[in-house]
Amino acid sequence: MTTSRPFAQVDVFSEAPYLGNPVAVILDGAGLTDDEMRHIARWTNLSETTFVLPTTDPGADYRLRIFTPGGELPFAGHPTLGSAHAWLEQGGTPKNTGRVVQECGAGLIEVRIDEGRLAFAAPPTLRSGPLEPELLARIVSAYGISADQVTAHQWIDNGPGWAVVQLASAQEVLDLDPDLSLLPEAMVGAVGAYPPGAPHAFELRSFAPAIGVDEDPVCGSMNASTAQWMHRTGTAPGPSWRVSQGTRLGRAGDITVTVDDSGAVWVGGATTTLFSGTALA
């Protein structure tokens, strides 16, 4: 039986409307089957569609399931912020003032509310360490670059399966025109620094053909685990920096990364509801 459910489509990581990354949020996903959620996510054809559900953990405010056109993710960054924004806007009341706790496949994720802006605490990485030579060679080939352009590389998997290579400059990242047919199973990105004094410290791009998304316009989860790697290795530019993403797609993603006194990495940005109403599901 089809039910009318509250719905919001939220633009995440951009102050300017329609220049961030949209997420479709079904604010009452109770009763939907896994197949129905997958079907809806394929239809919206966004990088992620989320479903807000009653929590099973007493420490959480709600439970979230996150689907791409190709399947379910245990965690994703921009859907976390967009869903928290929509839940609060609909009248959700956090158990603890100033923070929302989301239950998802990756566990409990804390979302901090600071003067109307949201930031999530980066979850721990499930896999780290340098990429295997065979995989690195395939990435280099798919990116159409030479091996000596890669200044560093790392597994940065916090759930989706991310790996990343670092290039010498933001411009080299922007110049990439990858052949993703050479990496059909990949969840991989590239990051490069802007010159000192630029508004953003890095340009980042995320490619996810493994889940049906060739290039994610603005990716919170990859920004989170890339920031953890840079902080851990001492290559971060300081306790707080900004990352640009989506430039090649005509977007203006603006991500703020902050490392607090405990060493926790927080990833935040603007969230704006651009469509709201009901979904039949």
Q: Are 4-121+268-280 and 133-263 the same fold in CATH?
A: yes
CA–CA gap between residue 79 and residue 76 (Å, rounded): 6
Q: Is 261 helix (H, G, I), strand (E, B) or coil?
A: coil
Fold of the 4-121+268-280 domain = Diaminopimelate Epimerase; Chain A, domain 1 (3.10.310)
CA–CA gap between residue 15 and residue 70 (Å, rounded): 29
Instruction: Supply the pLDDT for residue 195.
Output: 97
Read off the pTM.
0.96
Per the CB < 8 A criterion, the answer to whether 67 and 38 are in contact is yes
Per the CB < 8 A criterion, the answer to whether 43 and 275 are in contact is no
Instruction: Supply the pLDDT for residue 253.
Output: 98
Instruction: Supply the pLDDT for residue 1.
Output: 62
CA–CA gap between residue 277 and residue 281 (Å, rounded): 13
Amino acid found at 93: T
Residue 185 a catalytic site member: no
User: 220-233 and 77-89 helices cross at what angle (nearest 10)?
Assistant: 120
Please measure the distance between the N-terminal and C-terminal CA atoms of the chain and give it in whole angstroms.
Answer: 8
Instruction: Supply the pLDDT for residue 274.
Output: 98
In this structure, CATH architecture of domain 133-263: Roll (3.10)
Instruction: Supply the pLDDT for residue 114.
Output: 86
Catalytic residue among 15, 36, 48, 115: 48
In the chain, where the domains are located:
4-121+268-280, 133-263
Q: How far is CA 65 from CA 23, 44, 91, 127, in A?
A: 12, 15, 20, 22
Mean pLDDT (10-residue bins), the chain, 281 residues = 92 97 98 97 96 98 96 96 98 96 97 93 96 98 98 96 98 98 96 97 97 94 98 95 98 98 97 97 91
Burial 24-60 (b: 16+ CB within 10 A, else e): bbbbbbeebeeeebbebbeebebbbbbbbbebeeeeb
Q: How many CA atoms lie within 13 A of 274 on its CB side?
A: 18
